């Protein structure tokens, strides 16, 4: 790469972005990390990166962000778990400004490769009504019936990548992430997803001695969860690869939320008394990743066992909970 900055990571103050910046720096690349949050709120700040606080939803700021960049990973979005996306549909859809302006600016700047982080939330709701769900294949995104708000933004923005590739020959890569978890992610505040939320609730139970926890829904809804290491490996592999088609990047280890709680309890060495809040946000009833396409194209799929990833995540969340109580 001959540009002044090898890689720009948009959303570098967030969970996946923070890990990605660290990984790229470890490979000896120069990195510009950009996020709208004030720096003290970034999940990780890597001193060796060029760390920029900016609003990439503005076209001029997006242009400044991608100047002299070889590659762009576009991870910036106003998002969270079900508790956030179900109650903030307009805010989620406004990320379309960031997605649009970053793509346009990157193309204008002659960026060599552009990665867009899409989501399993693009998949049609009608195909996710059963906890024993048939794993989702890439073609299941159409006819379009994505998650309201957030899913529509992702589907529109990934399609815009396709048309930039078709109309202008711009090299775009799109991964559909399935629920990603790990240390240094959102674990409290309302945007956290199920793995971090469950780790926090169990850690709070352990630390307080009050072993009652609340679970959203009956707990029989199912998901697969991808550990951050697999996400980093897969994202960079897809960026380097030859295919511009959206591809699933997710684990195929399907569990119910009750099984997820069982695992965290096992790791923590505690049994909790669960109450099920049936009016809480639940999203689709079942969701899993069909990994046929990623295996075909790349000969690889995410492989970190949920129990192994949760062990590391629980240890980190436990420390955060403990620290927050001191
Ligand atoms: P995150 O919320 O931790 O990180 C996103 C970052 O983008 C945040 O730090 C936020 O401040 C920043 N951002 C938002 N608007 C911005 C703007 N206008 N300008 C600059 N920065 C802005 O989320 P994450 O888990 O790291 O997810 C990264 C990407 O992957 C997102 O696009 C998300 O939609 C997608 N994704 C994540 C998951 C998951 O399970 N984590 C699943 C599917 C898709
Ligand atoms: N967040 C959360 N917190 N979810 C809980 C909790 C809790 O305390 N207890 C049970 N759940 C249940 C939710 O009701 C939902 O049915 C399931 O756990 C999974 O919730 P999340 O992890 O919040 O989200 P998701 O899997 O429905 O969607 C997430 O993954 C997508 C990609 O696969 C979201 O983060 C999306 O933004 C993301 O794109």
Task: Say how many Å lie between the CA of residue 286 and the centre of ligand 2.
Answer: 11
Q: What is the pLDDT of residue 133?
A: 85
Whether residue 249 has its Cβ less than 6 Å from ligand 1: no
CA quadruple 209, 215, 221, 225: dihedral, nearest 10: -60
Q: What is the pLDDT of residue 3?
A: 76
C-alpha neighbours within 13 Å on the C-beta side of residue 166: 7
Closest ligand 2 atom to Cα of 215: 9
User: Does residue 187 register a pLDDT over 80?
Assistant: yes
CA 116 to chain centre: 11
Give residue-wise pLDDT tens across range 214-238: 999 999 999 999 999 999 999 999 9
Give residue-wise pLDDT tens across range 116-171: 999 999 999 999 999 988 999 999 999 999 999 999 999 999 999 999 999 999 99
- For the chain, give the mean pLDDT: 97
Whether residue 289 has its Cβ less than 6 Å from ligand 1: no
Closest ligand 2 atom to Cα of 192: 1
Q: What is the pLDDT of residue 2?
A: 54
**Quick one: average pLDDT of 84-88?**
97
Task: Say how many Å lie between the CA of residue 55 and the centre of ligand 2.
Answer: 27
Rg (CA), the chain: 19
Whether residue 182 has its Cβ less than 6 Å from ligand 2: no
Task: Say how many Å lie between the CA of residue 275 and the centre of ligand 1.
Answer: 30
Give residue-wise pLDDT tens across range 269-280: 999 999 999 999
List, in order of start, the domains of the chain with CATH numbers. 5-180+228-249 (3.40.50.720), 183-224+253-288+305-324 (3.90.25.10)
Is the Cβ–Cβ distance between 177 and 291 less than 8 Å? no
Closest ligand 2 atom to Cα of 85: 37
How far, in Å, CA of 45 to CA of 153, rounded? 28
How far, in Å, CA of 84 to CA of 190, rounded? 6
Exposure string for 229-266, b = 16+ CB within 10 A, e = fewer:
bbbbbbbbbbbeeeebebbbbbbbbbbbbbebbebbbe
36-40: long-range pairs with CB below 8 Å, 24+: 36/76, 37/13, 39/13
Identify which of 77, 66, 98, 60 has the alpha carbon closest to the alpha carbon of residue 17: 77
In degrees rounded to 5, what are phi and psi of residue 88? -140, 55
Q: Whose CA is nearest to atom 11 of ligand 2?
A: 216
Smallest-distance ligand from the CA of 282:
2
ipTM of predicted assembly, 2 dp: 0.99
Q: What is the pLDDT of residue 275?
A: 98
Q: Which is it for the CA torsion 188, 194, 195, 198, positive or negative? A: positive
User: Does residue 1 register a pLDDT over 60?
Assistant: no
Smallest-distance ligand from the CA of 151:
2
Give residue-wise pLDDT tens across range 303-326: 999 999 999 999 999 999 999 998
Tokens found for residue 164: 């930039």
Whether residue 85 has its Cβ less than 6 Å from ligand 2: yes
Length, in residues, of the chain: 326
Q: Which is it for the CA torsion 57, 59, 63, 66, positive or negative? A: positive
Q: Whose CA is nearest to atom 1 of ligand 1?
A: 14
Give residue-wise pLDDT tens across range 16-72: 999 999 999 999 999 999 999 999 999 999 999 999 999 999 999 999 999 999 999
């Amino acid at each position: 790469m001959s540009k002044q900055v090898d890689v720009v990571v948009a959303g570098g103050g967030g969970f996946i972005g923070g890990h990605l910046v660290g990984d790229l720096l470890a490979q000896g690349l120069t990195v510009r990390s950009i996020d709208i949050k004030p720096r003290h709120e970034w999940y990780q700040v890597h001193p060796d990166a060029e760390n920029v606080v900016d609003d990439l939803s503005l076209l001029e700021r997006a242009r400044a962000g991608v100047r002299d960049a070889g590659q762009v990973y576009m991870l910036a979005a106003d998002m969270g778990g079900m508790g956030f996306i179900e109650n903030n549909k307009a805010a989620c859809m406004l990320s379309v400004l960031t997605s649009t302006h970053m793509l346009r600016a990157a193309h204008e700047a002659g960026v060599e490769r552009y990665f867009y982080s899409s989501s399993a939330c693009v998949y049609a709701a009608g195909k996710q009504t059963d906890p024993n769900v048939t794993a989702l294949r890439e073609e299941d995104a159409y006819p379009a019936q994505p998650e309201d708000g957030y899913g529509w933004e992702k589907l529109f923005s990934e399609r815009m990548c396709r048309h930039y590739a078709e109309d202008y020959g711009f090299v775009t890569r799109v991964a559909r992430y399935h629920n990603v978890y790990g240390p240094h992610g959102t674990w409290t505040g309302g945007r956290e997803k199920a793995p971090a939320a469950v780790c926090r609730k169990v850690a709070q139970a352990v630390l307080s001695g009050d072993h009652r926890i609340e679970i959203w829904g009956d707990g029989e809804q199912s998901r697969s969860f991808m550990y951050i290491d697999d996400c980093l490996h897969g994202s960079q592999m897809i960026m380097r690869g030859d295919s511009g088609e959206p591809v699933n990047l997710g684990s195929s280890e399907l569990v119910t939320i009750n099984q997820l709680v069982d695992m965290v309890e096992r790791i923590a060495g505690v049994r909790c008394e669960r109450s099920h809040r049936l009016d809480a946000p639940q999203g689709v009833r079942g969701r899993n990743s069909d990994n046929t396409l990623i295996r075909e194209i790349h000969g690889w799929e995410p492989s970190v066992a949920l129990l192994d990833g949760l062990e590391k995540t629980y240890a980190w969340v436990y420390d955060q909970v403990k620290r927050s109580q001191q």
